[in-house]
Amino acid sequence: MDPRRNPFSPGAGSRPPELAGRENVLETVAIALDRIRSGRHAQSMILLGLRGVGKTVLLNAMRRAADGEGILSVPIEAPEGQSLPAMLVPALRTAMLKLDRGQAAMTLAKRGLGALARFVKAFKLSYGELEASLNLGVIGVADNGDLEADLIDLIDLAGAAAGERKTALVLFIDELQYVPERELAALITALHRARQNDRPITLVAAGLPQLAGQMGKAKSYAERLFLFTSIGPLGDDAAASAIVHPIEAEECAIEPDAVARILAVTEGYPYFLQEWGKQCWDAADACPITAADVDLAHPTAIAALDDSFFRVRFDRLTPSEKRYLRGMADLGEGPFASTAIADHIGRKPSSFGPVRASLIAKGMIYTPGYGETAFTVPMFGAFMRRAMPVADGAAGQGE
């Protein structure tokens, strides 16, 4: 069928045509933000889930909804290797400038810009546009060079500025698991202090499943400050809606058997649903889309996932990390006992400590329970078996 009318759009963070099965979490965040703006308390929300469940899509949807309600949003992505101060500075500067529009010369937003400039100087960050604001800050505010103390000042001033404008300020942070523990602890402390001071500022973030443990380790009271919400694959009804409704919107249809086959192979993961929907549309000659079209599209969908969704993660791995993941893949999709993986590869579990730590840091594996290991990427075991056949000597080799 005409690819120009294909309603499906697989891609990192791309909004699907049908955001099905996430109504409750969207409403929970909307209520929390309304409460914070009106001066009432609400927990910050942390979305936890594997790759491909649509956490980034949800964050973007929440941010757009907040913007539509006049709430000021600050979108931030936490890439590997970048410090929290370096991420916060440009985002908070943009927020402060928005809050400062049309206000008097010494609004709290202007004071916030001054504090931000001094923060940049204290941490030797490169952000020249803020130099002109140095004279607006109060000496001793966010310029001590102690991250926790200075971040408390910054977040508190940002929240106060939002309160002055009768709105709320929301930090939307994706991939929060990449923020180092010390910096994560400073952010948690700053948000806690802002809450104690009744500032209308909060955090909505997303990360891999290990993020809950990281935050609890960083600050013991994190479990009380944040609402941790697990985002998993869609149930059958929502997954079917994600396929059927976009096709119907294009005045086409898909047979029930075809939908059942898509649900079986994708296991309800939103990213995979988008990929199969796209490939099935392109494979079909005419409406309705049939089970035969799904079968025809299957190799193309697998190849598309291998070349993009899976390969981009595989190519970041060292040979040792690939061998470890290939050993996991021999056991299935997991989770697995860490000792079982080591036994299968023929090594002592202690010898894999550095490799496991590196894979966790890269967001490739996590520990769902004590002594357990699992992939953070659904169906990655099957990909590893395709990418590294046993004949290639994937498992059982030395370092």
Instruction: Give the per-residue pLDDT at 125.
Output: 57
Mean pLDDT for back-to-back runs of 10 residues, the chain (399 residues): 92 76 94 94 95 94 95 90 83 82 59 69 52 43 65 89 91 94 93 94 96 93 92 96 96 97 96 96 96 97 94 93 93 88 86 91 90 93 91 40
Instruction: Give the per-residue pLDDT at 101.
Output: 66
Sign of CA pseudo-dihedral 64, 171, 181, 80: positive
User: Mapping DSSP to helix (H, G, I), strand (E, B) and coil, where does residue 6 land?
Assistant: coil
Q: Beta 44-48 vs 72-77: how paired, if at all?
A: unpaired
Matching residue, tokens 């973007």: 60
**CA quadruple 382, 310, 242, 68: dihedral, nearest 10:** 150
pTM: 0.85
Q: Are residues 56 and 280 in contact, defined by beta-carbon separation less than 8 angstroms?
A: no
Instruction: Give the per-residue pLDDT at 44.
Output: 93
**Distance from CA of residue 133 to its chain's centroid?**
33
Q: 287 burial class (0-12, 13-18, 19+ CB within 10 angstroms)?
A: middle
CA separation, residue 123 to residues 12, 130, 369 (Å): 32, 13, 38
Instruction: Give the per-residue pLDDT at 153.
Output: 86
The span from the CA of 239 to the CA of 236, in Å, is 5
